[in-house]
């Protein structure tokens, strides 16, 4: 069973700061997902990656397969980025980390 660990659990930052959320997993995977969940509950897929790096707007996701580690970065953070960010690994359904609760203060 894959164990997925995220850090930090909670993060409060000021608008404009560079944000990093980390995810590590215990078993080799085919793909890793980053998801976003806003208050009110909707879950949106941000990235799916199996190697290297992906960028979408101010969001960047990286993965190191050898080290079983992924990071999600947010550049020039904004209060609308406040949400729970969840990483998950693929394999017969997703296995999720417990999420990082991010608050960006104006």
The minimum distance between CB 1 and other proteins, in angstroms, equals 8
Question: Which is nearest to 47 in space by CA: 56, 57, 58?
Answer: 56
- Please tell me what DSSP assigns to residue 85: E
Distances in Å between the alpha carbon of 89 and those of 18, 25, 68, 106?
Answer: 25, 8, 11, 33
Among 39, 41, 57, 106, indicate the residue that binds other proteins (CB under 8 A): 41
Say if residues 6 and 25 touch (Cβ distance below 8 Å).
no
Residue ranges in 76-105 that form contacts with other proteins under rule CB under 8 A: 86, 88, 90-99
Among 14, 16, 44, 55, indicate the residue that binds other proteins (CB under 8 A): 44
Q: Return the number of the residue (77 or 95) whose C-beta is nearest other proteins.
A: 95
Q: Return the number of the residue (42 or 106) whose C-beta is nearest other proteins.
A: 42
Task: Give CA–CA dist 30/50, Å, rounded.
Answer: 6
Asked whether position 63 contacts other proteins by CB under 8 A, the answer is: no
- Opening angle at CA 42, ends 36 and 45, nearest 5: 40
Q: Return the number of the residue (43 or 103) whose C-beta is nearest other proteins.
A: 43
Contacts with other proteins, residue ranges (CB under 8 A): 1, 30-31, 33, 35, 41-45, 48, 50, 86, 88, 90-99
């Amino acid at each position: 069973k894959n164990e997925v660990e995220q850090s930090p659990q909670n993060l409060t930052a000021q608008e404009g700061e560079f944000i990093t959320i980390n995810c590590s997993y215990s078993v080799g995977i085919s793909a890793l997902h980053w998801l976003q969940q806003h208050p009110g509950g909707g879950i949106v897929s941000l990235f799916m990656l199996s190697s290297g790096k992906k960028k979408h707007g101010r969001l960047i996701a990286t993965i190191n397969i050898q080290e079983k580690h992924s990071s999600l970065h947010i550049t020039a953070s904004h209060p609308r980025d406040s949400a729970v960010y969840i990483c998950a690994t693929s394999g017969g359904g997703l296995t999720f980390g417990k999420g990082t609760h991010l608050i960006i203060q104006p």
